[in-house]
Amino acid sequence: MDLSRQYAEARDAQDPIGHFRARFHIPDGHLVYFDGNSLGRLPLATRDRLLDAIEREWGGDLIRGWDTWIDLAGRAGDVIAEGVLDVAPGEVILSDSSSVNLFKLASAALDANPGRRVIVTDDDNFPTDRYVLEGLAQARGLQLRVVPTDIDEGVDPARIAAALDDDVALVCLSHVAYRSGALADMVAITTAAHRVGALTLWDLCHSAGSVPVPLRQSGADLAVGCTYKYLNAGPGAPAFLFVRRDLQARLRQPIWGWFGQRDQFAMGAGYDPVESIERFQVGTPPVLGGYAVLEGARITAEAGVANLAAKSAELLRYTLRLNDAWLGDRLTLATPSDPARRGSHVTFHHPQAWQICQALKAAGVIPDFRTPQRLRIGLAPLYTRFVDVWEGMARLRDIVDSGSYEAFEPALGRVT
Amino acid sequence: MDLSRQYAEARDAQDPIGHFRARFHIPDGHLVYFDGNSLGRLPLATRDRLLDAIEREWGGDLIRGWDTWIDLAGRAGDVIAEGVLDVAPGEVILSDSSSVNLFKLASAALDANPGRRVIVTDDDNFPTDRYVLEGLAQARGLQLRVVPTDIDEGVDPARIAAALDDDVALVCLSHVAYRSGALADMVAITTAAHRVGALTLWDLCHSAGSVPVPLRQSGADLAVGCTYKYLNAGPGAPAFLFVRRDLQARLRQPIWGWFGQRDQFAMGAGYDPVESIERFQVGTPPVLGGYAVLEGARITAEAGVANLAAKSAELLRYTLRLNDAWLGDRLTLATPSDPARRGSHVTFHHPQAWQICQALKAAGVIPDFRTPQRLRIGLAPLYTRFVDVWEGMARLRDIVDSGSYEAFEPALGRVT
């Protein structure tokens, strides 16, 4: 194992998608950014597009801009559908936040399965997913069946299957776990859910744009995802949702907004929703965010999800090798050891992970802390280089070797 | 009555808030923009703020930007609370779209009044409001009692009062009607609703930033509003919601997202919402939109709602005088004749209103068409001048005098 910086540089020189980094705004060359899985970087095309949308379109076209903007959510959705999720145009649209979309699609799924009284999720699902489902279960007097998951190993399909019976209306899980980066087996779980007549709703926040998403192969029913991580659409950009084509016309979207209405501007009496994906829109969609998603998703589609996933896997393997060589067992792997079961981030356990995170930030490395006592390193493949991994891991090694992290405040009780 | 352009210029010269126009990006001096009540203009401060938020904050600070962004929805909400709605800080927050917020607050109101089986609205309410309420009523097996309203005269408090009884859980109406601009009597209606134990939910989309909103004087319970009209926050910018302080902790917000969670980043098991206005947030809020609201609301607050309303009233009176002088009875007023019952836009009826709208646009005047057969003229007071009214009405006069609008396509059946 070559531990030199030159090795990392050589890997970058051979990287078939390495040139995509030049299409991002990267003002600080010293910074090692390991958090593109929380907030992706700014694409130059997005900056230019937003400036144009602000000044020329909003400022100049004013209300006439809506001639262009009215189907922006669908156009961006189509890029995500074809270029990121490998499903058909018309199966994905931008709308609201991931949380609101989860509420809409989970509610629709429950209405489509009347009489069934159980929602299945797991205890490692992202908090907002668990809360949204808990709220729906409470409002409807249903049971939320929370399957225990090993937070380092991720969702166990056998445990999910064991929780399924013909009283289950909906199975809702994350495709890639937000802490460990563990990849759930979408095909096995969807198959098991369908066997008992349940619908599946997948949270793709940590997978869209970083790993292939087998919506089509699995026959998954519904999905939501955010766009500010691997799709690089900026803080709070609108989320997307996926509804398999054959389900669209028969699902009851619970929030009957005018952007789902047939002949919207007739402003007629009585809600009469379209039968297509626009049925899952609600209110006036955010235009700046919509453009940011359009541009971000285009870059992802251009690079190709297979290439992105391959590079992620290589970056991740390299991270683990450097960790093994430099840090030994001082940081414990909190991500599946099987490469086929990983997304695009890697997590380590350390009892003082919070302090190590603070020390890394002070040293110009931005990872993320996650409860409990975990250091998360995101390897967003569009702009993360091997040399970034080398630099970041070297600084991490120095911090752990020197014990300099002890000088930082321990975690507050609430985030240990 | 002086019908000269010079008279209009003289009025502009005396306008105490005339200087605010210079704070907007207005690239086309020929254009007369009468649609600021659909999409407000771009403030220069907003353009600058967005450029900075895109490049420096998102592009440079990356995830660290959330230290600044995390309470942006509340900060912008406070500016709207104090500077626009005259309620207390902590009673307003940005979140989602108006439609989603209507759903959230209407749902919360219904939960707070269990056993009551009726929602009251009127048939002139904005479509999305009617649809959202219809959806909620259907889901819960409640009655949506739709009070007939004269679309030119607006909500009649006596008719609303006659629809109230102790089975009514919620009264949901628009403060300013989207077609006529008629101002509803918030104090009388809220008082009548409270007398029977119902909660009130007001849609402020067409009033926030243009007329005083008597939330406090009326004791209104709940409100929502958009920010892209008189608050000039741009297309699809996030909406706001108001929940009277004493109601906040006891209302059940139906979409249990992580931005309402106490100790959000502890990511704990079980939804445990804060007791304050943040309880009504759901998912990750849009940052660019949040900044645009912050800047737009600040300008409105600086100009002062009383000044804005006074100028609107003067612009509206001037519009009507020019109409009387130049167009006689060819355009029929479709807005209350009592100035105290008007918002900041004026509507005219004409059997060929659609074609007249198209002709106006071709002549560089942007009004709006509204069903049925109505021409709507918005007089956003922050940047609309008396000379704009003069120019726009002169071009309208020429179009109607000449019959040139006949050359434009008649309305499609669906929007007559």
Neighbours of A129 (CB within 10 A): 25
Q: Contact A238/A96 with Cβ under 8 angstroms?
A: yes
In single-letter form, the type of residue at position A294 comes to: L
Who contacts B411 (Cβ-Cβ below 8 Å, separation ≥6)? B354, B355, B369
* Contact assignment for B239 to A63 by CB distance below 8 Å: no
Q: Which ranges of A304-385 would DSSP assign to H, the alpha helix?
A: 305-327, 353-362
Answer for the pair A74, A100: CB distance below 8 angstroms, yes or no: no
Question: Which part of chain A has CATH 3.40.640.10?
Answer: 47-302
Q: What is the pairing mode between strands B332-333 and B240-243?
A: unpaired
Q: What is the mean pLDDT of chain B?
A: 97
Q: Report the 10 Å Cβ neighbour count for B141.
A: 7
Within 10 A of A297 (CB to CB), how many other CB atoms are there?
31
> Under a CB-based contact definition with an 8 Å cutoff, are residues B117 and B142 in contact?
yes
Structure confidence at residue B267 (pLDDT): 86
Please give the residue of chain B at the shortest CA–CA distance from A69: B235
Residues annotated within the binding site of A for pyridoxal 5'-phosphate are 99, 126-129, 203, 206, 228, 258, 284
- Chain A closest CA to B203's CA: distance in Å? 14
Candidates B37, B44, B228, B258: best to mutate against A (most CBs of A within 10 A) is B258
CA-nearest residue to B372 within chain A is A266
CA distance B138 to chain A (A): 10
Position B61 scores a pLDDT of 98
> What one-letter code names the amino acid at A398?
D
pLDDT computed for residue A266 by the predictor: 87
Q: Supply the DSSP string of B19-48, one letter for each residue.
A: GGGGGB----TT-EE--TTTS---BHHHHH
Peptide bond connecting A372 to the previous residue in cis, omega within 30 degrees of 0? yes
Q: Cα(B380)–Cα(B213) distance, rounded to whole angstroms?
A: 16
Please name the residue of chain B whose CA is at the shortest distance from the CA of residue A126.
Answer: B267
How do beta strands B368-370 and B374-378 pair? antiparallel
pLDDT for res A282: 98
Q: Which residues in chain A are contacts of B35 at CB distance < 8 A?
A: 62-63
- DSSP letters, A174-231, are ESB-TTT-BBP-HHHHHHHHHHTT-EEEEE-TTTTTTS---HHHHT--EEEE-SSSTT
Contact A51 B51 (CB under 8 A): yes
pLDDT confidence bin for B274, thresholds 50/70/90: very high
User: Does residue B361 carry a catalytic annotation?
Assistant: no
Rounded mean pLDDT for each run of 10 residues along chain A, 416 residues in total: 95 98 97 98 98 98 97 98 98 98 98 97 97 98 98 97 98 98 98 98 98 98 98 98 98 97 90 97 98 98 98 98 94 97 97 97 97 96 98 98 95 61
**What is the side-by-side order of every strand in the sheet holding B368-370?**
B332-333, B345-349, B374-378, B368-370
Closest to B154 (Cα-Cα) out of B324, B389, B340, B353: B340
Distances (CA, A) of A106 to A100, A140, A241, B288: 10, 12, 12, 28
Any alpha helices (H) in A64-126, and if so which ranges? 66-69, 72-80, 98-112
Reading the block at residue B226, the tokens are 């958009």
- The Cα A23–Cα A298 span in angstroms is 12
Catalytic residue numbers of A, as ranges:
126, 203, 228-229, 376
Instruction: Kindly determine whether residue A258 and residue B99, on different chains, have CB atoms separated by under 8 Å.
Output: yes
Contact A345, A376 (CB under 8 A): yes
Mark yes or no for CB contact B258/A35 under 8 Å.
Answer: no
Query: Which of B35, B65, B99 lies at the smallest CB-CB distance from A63?
Result: B35
Helix (H, G, I), strand (E, B) or coil at A396: helix
The DSSP code for A372 is T
* B5-30+304-415 fold: Aspartate Aminotransferase, domain 1 (3.90.1150)
Mean pLDDT of B366-391: 97
CA distance A200 to A202: 6
Query: Do the chains contact at A62 and B256, CB–CB below 8 Å?
Result: no
Under DSSP, the state recorded for A348 is E
Classify residue B153 by burial, with Cβ atoms within 10 Å: 0-12, 13-18, 19+.
Answer: middle
The nearest alpha carbon in chain B to A253 belongs to B135
- Nearest by CB to B256, from A33, A54, A131: name it: A131
Flag if A258 and B139 touch (Cβ within 8 Å). no
In Å, how far is A106's CA from the nearest CA of chain B? 11
CATH 3.90.1150.10 domain locations along chain A: 5-30+305-405
In this structure, are residues B233 and B289 in contact, taking their beta carbons and an 8 Å threshold?
Answer: yes
d(CA A150, CA A124): 8
Q: To probe the interface with A, which of B39, B71, B129 has the most A CB atoms within 10 Å?
A: B39
Residue A415 has a pLDDT of 55
Nearest CA in chain A to B37: A63
Which residue on chain A is closest to B413 by alpha carbon? A266
B99 known member of a binding site: yes
Which among A69, A97, A255 has the least Cβ separation from residue B103? Answer: A255
pLDDT at position A145, please?
Answer: 98
Interface test with A, best of B224, B265, B284 (most A CBs within 10 A): B284
What is the ipTM, given to two decimal places?
0.97
Contact (CB<8Å) A39/B60: no
Q: Which residue, among B95, B160, B171, has the nearest Cα to B133 in the 3D structure?
A: B171
pLDDT tens per residue, range B308-336: 999 999 999 999 999 999 998 899 999 99
Tell how strand A332-333 and strand A365-366 pair up: unpaired
Measure the CA–CA gap between B65 and B48, rounded to whole angstroms. 17
Question: CA A253, CA A113: separation in Å to the nearest integer?
Answer: 14
Lowest pLDDT segment from A256-270, A311-325, B105-119, B269-283:
A256-270
Of B99, B269, B289, the CB nearest to A288: B289
Cα–Cα–Cα angle for A60, A61, A64, rounded to 5 degrees: 165
Asked if A100 lies within 8 A of B98 by C-beta distance, the reply is no
Residues B148 and B146: their CA atoms lie apart, in Å, by 6
Q: For testing the chain A interface, which of B62, B280, B415 should be mutated: the one with the most A CBs within 10 Å? A: B62
DSSP, collapsed to helix, strand or coil, labels residue B347 as strand
Residues of chain B contacting A28 with CB distance shorter than 8 Å: 60
Q: Alpha-carbon distance A135 to B172, whole Å?
A: 24
pLDDT digits (tens, 9 = 90+) for B129-147: 999 999 999 999 999 999 9
Dist CA B111 CA B275 (whole Å): 17
* Distance to chain B for A97, nearest Cα, Å: 6
Residue B379: Cβ within 10 Å count: 25
Q: Which residues pair with A347 in a beta bridge?
A: A376
Q: Is B238 marked as binding a ligand? A: no
CB contact under 8 A, B100 and A283: yes
d(CA A103, CA A140): 13
| A50 contacts B98? CB cut-off 8 A | no
Q: Which residue in B63, B97, B285 is closest to A284 by CB distance?
A: B97
Following CA atoms B372, B373, B379, B385 in sequence, which dihedral angle do they give, to the nearest 10 degrees? 170
Tokens 């002709």 belong to which residue? B359
Cα distance from A287 to chain B (closest Cα, Å)? 6
pLDDT band at B1 (very low <50, low <70, confident <90, very high): confident
> In sequence order, what DSSP letters do the residues of B123-190 get, joined into one string?
TTS-HHHHHHHHHHHHHHT-EEEEE--BTTTB--HHHHHHT--TTEEEEEEESB-TTT-BBP-HHHHH
DSSP bridge partners of B241: B93, B224
Closest-CA distance of chain A to residue B250, Å:
15
**Residue of chain B nearest A258, judged by CA positions:** B128
Of A235, A266, A366, the CB nearest to B371: A266
CA contacts within 13 A on the Cβ side of B240: 38
* Superfamily (CATH H level) for A5-30+305-405: Aspartate Aminotransferase, domain 1 (3.90.1150.10)
**Rounded CA separation B285/B94 (Å):** 8
Using CA atoms, how far apart are residues A276 and A284, in angstroms rounded to an integer?
Answer: 17
Across the range B117-140, mean pLDDT stands at 98
Which has the closest alpha carbon to B247: B341, B379, B101, B113? B113
Give Cα A27 distance to the centre of its chain.
25
Q: Model confidence over B18-50: pLDDT tens digits?
A: 999 999 999 999 999 999 999 999 999 999 999
Check B96 against A98: CB less than 8 A apart. Answer: no
Q: Looking at beta carbons, which residues of chain B come within 8 Å of A357?
A: none
Q: B270-293 burial by CB neighbour count: b if 16+ within 10 A, else e?
A: ebebbebbbbbbbbbbbbbbbbbb
CA distances from A211 to A86, A214, A316, A344, B357 (A): 11, 9, 13, 7, 50
CATH code 3.90.1150.10 region(s) in chain B: 5-30+304-415
**B250 included as an active-site residue:** no
CB contact under 8 A, A257 and B131: yes
Please report which confidence band the pLDDT of residue B415 belongs to, taking 50, 70 and 90 as the band edges.
low
What's the mean pLDDT in B105-119? 97
- Comparing CB atoms, the residue among B226, B235, B415 nearest residue A65 is B235
Q: Considering the domain B47-302 in this protein, what is its CATH number? A: 3.40.640.10
